[in-house]
Amino acid sequence: MREPMQPFVAALSVRDDLSAEEVRALHDLPIHLRSFQRGEEIVGDHTRPGRSSLVIDGTCGRVVQAREGRQITAVHVPGDFVDLHSLLLKVMDHSVVALSDCVVGSVPHGHVAGLCERHPHLGRLLWLSTVIDGAIQRSTIANIGRRSALQRLAHLVCELHTRLAVIGLASPNGFTCSFTQTDLGDILGLSAVHVNRTIRDLRHRKLLSWSGNQVLFSRFESLAAFADFDPTYLNLQKEPR
């Protein structure tokens, strides 16, 4: 079987060099795998998790439940920790749900803390990954707060494509998107109906094609220019951290 930590190692390796020993330490973490069906709750709101969870396969989302409806505040792909912050926050301020059938691994908090102690550089990289989550959230705030539905959706497509490419899950001109239009609405702060019309509009403008769960574009650059997409916030540069 493939190493479950592989996508996480891949994601870190894009941002900094890992020593062989560090890679080994990550693979040696006692990880408990579990499958979830689309729609299932992975971590509950207001709970106190004793473990941190990592997406191995599929996608999941962080859900803040407001009185007027749910908002998906972040989308996670393989290699992303979905609640690493619970190591410090203790009490969840949101829930995590499966947005597709997915496989999630979890590691007891004690082992994560131990890893940080024994490998301070890995500790910094775990900190880094929570801080990149924050950068993505800032971009999401700007996206929802300032851009039109058309640009919002285009921006999300650019981001997803870029993030999936990092872990080898995107082709040069597209990717597989398993979200329903209702999910997309909850991610973008739009109604499901309007998401549908917005996809149609993007298609009419020949910026992309979207049939079933296949998203394809002829030129990523056109889409990125239209969406005002600047990938700086994804921190894809290798730097000593």
Partner DNA sequence: CGACTCATTGATTTAGCTCAAGTCTGGTGG
Partner DNA sequence: CCACCAGACTTGAGCTAAATCAATGAGTCG
Binds a second copy by CB under 8 A, chosen from 64, 103, 150, 165: 64
The entry of a second copy, DNA, none that residue 91 binds, CB within 5 to 8 Å by partner kind: a second copy
Max Cα–Cα distance, the chain, nearest Å: 55
Q: Which residue, 211 or 232, is less far from DNA as judged by CB? A: 211
Output the 3-class SS for 21-49.
HHHHHHHCCCCEEEEECCCCEEECCCCCC
Binds a second copy by CB under 8 A, chosen from 27, 38, 85, 194: 85
Q: Which residue, 16 or 101, is less far from DNA as judged by CB? A: 101
- Tell me phi and psi for residue 109, to 5 degrees: -55, -40
If one counts every other C-beta atom within 10 angstroms of the C-beta of residue 28, the result is 11
Q: Rounded to the nearest whole angstrom, what is the least distance from the CB of residue 227 to DNA in the complex?
A: 13
Strand extents, DSSP E, 83-224: 95-98, 102-108, 170-171, 174-176, 209-211, 214-216
∠ at Cα 137 (240, 27), nearest 5°? 50
Q: Which residue, 91 or 192, is less far from DNA as judged by CB? A: 192
The entry of DNA, a second copy, none that residue 209 binds, CB within 5 to 8 Å by partner kind: none
Question: With binding defined as CB under 7 A, does residue 194 bind DNA?
Answer: yes
Query: Identity (one letter) of the amino acid at 238?
Result: K
Question: With binding defined as CB under 8 A, does residue 189 bind a second copy?
Answer: yes
Question: With binding defined as CB under 7 A, does residue 176 bind DNA?
Answer: no
Nearest to 7 by CA among 156, 164, 188: 164
Query: Identity (one letter) of the amino acid at 147?
Result: R
Residues 88-147 that bind a second copy (CB under 8 A): 88-91, 93-94, 117, 120, 123-124, 127-128, 130-135, 137-147
Q: Which residue, 87 or 190, is less far from DNA as judged by CB? A: 190
Binding site for DNA (CB under 7 A): 38, 148-150, 180-182, 185, 189-194, 196-197, 199-200
